[in-house]
Each structure stands twice: as C-alpha cells, then as structure tokens.
Structure 1
C-alpha cells in the first residue's frame, strides 16, 4: 500500500539546502586534496553537519553517507528509518537495507554502481559509529577497493564556521549563560545538585533553548568526580561547586565551565586562581596563524611556572560546534600543528586537580577573529563566591 509522504508534518533540516550544499562542496574539495575518489561519512556529528539528519537511527547499524565527485550524495540507511532520514535531511538519494547482514552488500552495490570498486575511498576509521566488522564486511565485498583513513577530513572543513553556524553558536551560548546564571543563583546551604539541575533545565526551556547538555555538576566532595551527574547531594557552607554545561541550537553546542564557593574553601580557591591565569594566557595567544600547539603551550607555561604542573592533566581545548565534538577534531594539545583561522570556534576548559583530588576551574568558548579571540559568553569567568 502506497503512502503519501507529503502528508507527514516535519520541520526538515535546520538550515537551507544551499548551506548543506556549501558544506558538501568544501568536503569534496578537501577530498580532492587528499586524493580520495569517494568518502563514507559515518560519524553522527559529521552526518548532521552535511545533511541535517542527526544520525540517531544508526545507533546499532551503520548509516553511511556516500560522497563522490559528480554523484548526488547518497545515504545508505536501514529501511525502518528511510522516512525519518528523508524528512530530517537534505538528501534525495536514499538506499535502504533491512538487516545488519544486508548492509555490506547494499552499500557495496552503491559503491560499485558509482564505479568505486577499484578506487581510493576514505573511511572515518578513528570516529565513533564505524565498527571494524563493518569495514571488514565491505572489504570482503569489494576486495580491490583501496581504503584510506579520512578520520580528520570533515573536521578540517567544519572547524571554520559560516555565518549561519556562528549565529547558532551565539544562540546556544545565550542559553549556556542562562544555565550558568541559574546555577550561581541557586547556590545556598542545603541546595542539592538535582534541585539545581532541575532549575537549570527549567530556565533554559523558558528561555526558548533547543536543549541542554549538562556535562558535569558537583558539590563538595562530589566535585572530585570528573563528569559527575547531579544527585540528591546538598552543598554545605565552605564547600566548592563546579558546572560544565552547554546550551544547544540546531545541534550546535556552546560549552562553558564555571565554579563557585559557598563561603570559603582555600584549597580550591587557590586552584581556581591558577586556572584563571592559564585561561587568560591561552586566550591572549589565540590568533589567526598561530598553531593549536602554541595556544596550548601558552596556558601550560603558566601552570608549569607555578611549580604545580601535576594539576593539569588534559589538553587546553578543542574545536566545538555540532554535537559538542567528534573524534578527529582539531585539538589544542602539545605539539599540535593545526593553524588557527577566522571562523573557528574553540572551547578552552582549564579544569585543574587539587592535591586532595578536587576538580576546579573555568573555561571560555571563543570565536577566532582577525583581531584574536572573541569570547562568546556574557558571564565572566571570575570565581563566584556565594
């Protein structure tokens, strides 16, 4: 029995088709530079970036998008999700398969039809949502196809954002600021993490936010847990509190770390002062033409100079945007050679470890401009004392 798809109400992809075509064109140009004849896109964030579809239907089966010069972008998805993919993406060519065991043959048929069975095809080998078994199954179907690692290819394009993306980041940050202000305003003796989290979600919804990602929220001793989830644990006087949170607009996340002390807590206050100095050094170093490694070195130098290098146990920051991040994205880490350019958005979280294990610090989410780093948040990164 035929169905009339036009009767299904849907919002479609969040940006105009022309925006996705611009992105696809940039990726095709990057593919040419990488000597790739085609690309299989499998990371959910990259699928959303190129098509508008969030990729969530592929939670247990691969949903590759096939990009090849001179061919229409083609989605290979399970039949169950075809209408959803058609409704929420800008892709017209959609090929379905039914069971997991059908995937390799159906995808291989598409590649064969496009004349790619003997060509060099990029796979996102270092990203989520592509299992080694998927690669092996395709290799068995197309033994003469040359598989190349294209883990970083789309990230190298998406790191520089267009005007519509930057506007989405600004809107997302407006909701992040709502979340931070609610967090700070809710701190009082006896308030629980769960209560504060509920208040944050409520205020963001009232403010019109699309969604919220609460990465971490911890009070007192629970502030020693990385990525701790809110529980019915109260904050008491003379205890620290820290939040890492990001508002979301059209799947673009704007993350931020903010810290507070209810009363006084010398151990974490000292740690915070160092984190703030390191963050400001990294922000000052953020300019077009500077390498990601140089930005990391600027912040790291402040910490090393303090004689407390052991408190910093991660990188300085990373490319942020759609889905917060993906493996293979630009990373502000020691020795990184990627050059910063106008239009990049970066999250720089300086979260330090105290001698007894507290995690405490601050961050900024910035837009790289010709003049340097533009801070997107309107809530200052100074320590809040309640």
Structure 2
C-alpha cells in the first residue's frame, strides 16, 4: 500500500513495503561493512530510502540514522517537520531548531541507540555534509569511531527493482518526446530558448516532466561549452545543435544526449561518427560480471585504433537512478573495479572534443540484463540532419 497524505500532491510514490525492502538491503550492507550504524545525509540516498527528497535539508544535514535491528530515525530541522511527515516512510523523527542544534540532537539520537564506542559510517564523499558538520558530530561523540561509508547506499541502489525500472521507463518515454521535439523544431532562426519552450510544452502535453536543472541545449559556437542552459541564441544554417536532457518520474531521471546539424557541418559530423562507434563498443561491453573499468576501456580502444585517444577526456558513463548528480555512484572510468549486475542502469554520454573546441556526440541509457544491455530510448543515437 502506498502511503498518502492529507496535504494535496504529497505522499510516497512507492508502497511502504518498497522502502522497507530498500532499508533492509542497506541494513545487510551495513553489517557486511563491519559497521554498527550508518548516518545517511546525501539527498538522493534519503529519497531512495524514505521518499523525502531532502529539499529542506540545505540548511543543515537531515541525518537518517540506520541501526540494524532498530527502526530508522530521522533527525531534521523542526521547520520542515510537515514536509518530512507528508513525504517520508520514516515514522520516528527528532527535530532541531537551528544549525547549532544539529550535532547535539543527532548525537543524542546515536546515544539512544546504544552506539557508544561503536563504528558508524558517514557519507563523507557525498554532498550535504560539510567538514564542519562531521567535526561537530565527532566533538559530541568522542568515543565513537566514524568511518567513511560514501559508497554503501549507492552500491545497494545501483540494482533497481521492477518499480524503479517502471519509473525510469516512463521517464525515458518523456525524454524521447523531448528529443523528437528538439529534432522537429530545428529551423533557421529559432533560438535555444524558443526550442526549449517547445520541448517543455510537448513533454507537459504528454503528461511528463523534465529534470529542468540539468537540461543543456546549445547551438552553433555555443556547442563548445560543456554545459549550458538555453539562451536567446538563434541557430543559423550549416551549424550544429546539441542537447542533453532527461525526463523525470518520482525522482528518477533518464538522461540522453542527442545532436543535430542544420544543413552540413563536417567537423562535428566526424566527431559524431566517432562517438557512435565508441558508444556501440561500450554498450557491447556491458554485461553481468564485467567491471566498470573494462567497459570504459572498450570505448577508449576505439579511439586508440583511430589514433585519436585525446578526443575523449572524461569517463564513458555512470550509474543512474534517483538524483542524477549524486556523488559516490558507480563510475565507468579507467581502472574502476565495480562489477556490473543485472538491473543496474547506466547512462553513457560519449561527447568528443574536436580541434576547434566543439563538444559533440551522443549517448544511451541502458539496463544491464542477463544477456548484456537493454537500450531504454526509442530514439536512434544517429546524427539528425534538419
């Protein structure tokens, strides 16, 4: 049963039992890691484990204290109590009033859990816990041994449930609507901002949303930027166009990179041809048991064969799910030892940098299957000519 709320348009997107399963998997991971407890502060991980998106936690951390064998406990700013209660599966909530109250209240909760002298994990490599926060907590609990547990929740969350995959498939359907609109709206003189408005309108008509803060849409010389929000900049004939965007469903975003040329543009056309070859090698390397580093190497080998390894100056992909920009997730990069497993989801943006500075390419978003990789998008990753 999905928990609802008396406040309109609030409540949990998934049944309580789904959050219980996720929490149990994290409890098991805590024990495997030799920890007595975990203090979760990353917004994406809070949303994954409780349903609450962490928006009010910019003020100070909202630690979720997880102790195997005990009920999860949220420590939050009192001002946000209504929001947390209406959108979280956690029932036990403690509050503090200001930034100076965070550490004492959190420390008291840890003492209540009989964790004196224990080993407790903190997400030190993630967003939303500052060095001062960790220091204040350590000062309150001098007998506790804090350890870095940045990867713990991310590793559990890497493998998706069917409910999560259902949300991601819907998000990708909205991404495909956005890409189709991007392609069909290209004409000489239209601005990035005008095309972005077209995309928003068509996605809304389809019943979806975009993850607006991550949308990149660039025309012409502006495709030399690594990221950029749409501006009142028009596209001219014989210029490239580039977008990276993602549909959003219940916090799950499915990103995609697609490129186009209005007329012809030989330099970016060549970059795109190479990016497709790299992408297809990466997808072919994805299978259960492969390491993240092996997948990255498969893509780089293509550029080595062409004598152009310098065109790719970033990783070939990364784990996806709740919160596109969370730190601590699996990264498809040189030497990475994470092992891929079925139902992991990955985004592989293969964006190459040309001699003139253009950043151009394509991507796919996949689910790891027993046989290899399933591509979620229904929009071909070929270059679109308008």
User: Which TM-score band (shorter chain)?
Assistant: over 0.9
> In structure 2, what is the equivalent of residue 313 of structure 1?
313
Q: Report the CA distance shift for 1:10/1:187 in structure 2 as closer, same or farther (over 3 A).
A: closer
Q: TM-score, normalised by structure 2?
A: 0.97
Shift of 1:6: 7.2
> In structure 2, what is the equivalent of residue 193 of structure 1?
192
> In structure 1, what is the equivalent of residue 289 of structure 2?
289
Shift of 1:117: 2.5
CA displacement 1:219-242 (0-9 Å, x = unmatched): 000010111111000000000001
Aligned residue for 2:264, secondary structure, equals coil
Shift of 1:303: 1.1
> In structure 2, what is the equivalent of residue 40 of structure 1?
39
Q: Following the alignment from structure 2 to structure 1, what is the Cα–Cα distance between the partners of residues 5 and 274?
A: 58
8 Å contact kept, 1:201–1:212: no
Q: Report the CA distance shift for 1:140/1:168 in structure 2 as closer, same or farther (over 3 A).
A: same
Shift of 1:210: 3.6
8 Å contact kept, 1:123–1:150: yes
Shift of 1:11: 2.9
> In structure 1, what is the equivalent of residue 244 of structure 2?
244
CA displacement 1:68-111 (0-9 Å, x = unmatched): 01211010000000111010010100000001001111110000
Shift of 1:7: 5.1
Q: Report the CA distance shift for 1:140/1:230 in structure 2 as closer, same or farther (over 3 A).
A: same
Shift of 1:10: 4.8
Shift of 1:311: 1.0
Q: Following the alignment from structure 1 to structure 2, what is the Cα–Cα distance between the partners of residues 158 and 297?
A: 24
Q: Following the alignment from structure 1 to structure 2, what is the Cα–Cα distance between the partners of residues 145 and 94?
A: 22
Unaligned runs of 5+ in 1: none
Shift of 1:307: 1.1
Aligned residue for 2:12, secondary structure, equals coil
Aligned residue for 2:215, secondary structure, equals strand
Unaligned runs of 5+ in 2: none
Say if 2:154 is the partner of 1:159.
no
Aligned residue for 1:340, secondary structure, equals coil
Q: Report the CA distance shift for 1:275/1:35 in structure 2 as closer, same or farther (over 3 A).
A: same
CA displacement 1:269-317 (0-9 Å, x = unmatched): 0010000000000011111111111110111100121111111010010
Q: Report the CA distance shift for 1:210/1:192 in structure 2 as closer, same or farther (over 3 A).
A: closer
Q: Following the alignment from structure 1 to structure 2, what is the Cα–Cα distance between the partners of residues 150 and 279?
A: 32
Shift of 1:215: 2.8
Say if 2:122 is the partner of 1:123.
yes
Q: Following the alignment from structure 1 to structure 2, what is the Cα–Cα distance between the partners of residues 210 and 51?
A: 22
Q: Report the CA distance shift for 1:102/1:304 in structure 2 as closer, same or farther (over 3 A).
A: same
Q: Report the CA distance shift for 1:147/1:81 in structure 2 as closer, same or farther (over 3 A).
A: same
8 Å contact kept, 1:210–1:250: no
Q: Following the alignment from structure 1 to structure 2, what is the Cα–Cα distance between the partners of residues 8 and 199?
A: 32
> In structure 2, what is the equivalent of residue 336 of structure 1?
336
RMSD: 1.1
Q: Following the alignment from structure 2 to structure 1, what is the Cα–Cα distance between the partners of residues 240 and 194?
A: 16
Matches within 5 A, 1:98-177: 98-177=97-176
Number of positions where the alignment pairs a residue of Structure 1 with one of Structure 2 = 382
Aligned residue for 1:235, secondary structure, equals coil
Q: Following the alignment from structure 1 to structure 2, what is the Cα–Cα distance between the partners of residues 62 and 125?
A: 12
8 Å contact kept, 1:124–1:130: yes
Aligned residue for 2:247, secondary structure, equals strand
Aligned residue for 2:228, secondary structure, equals coil
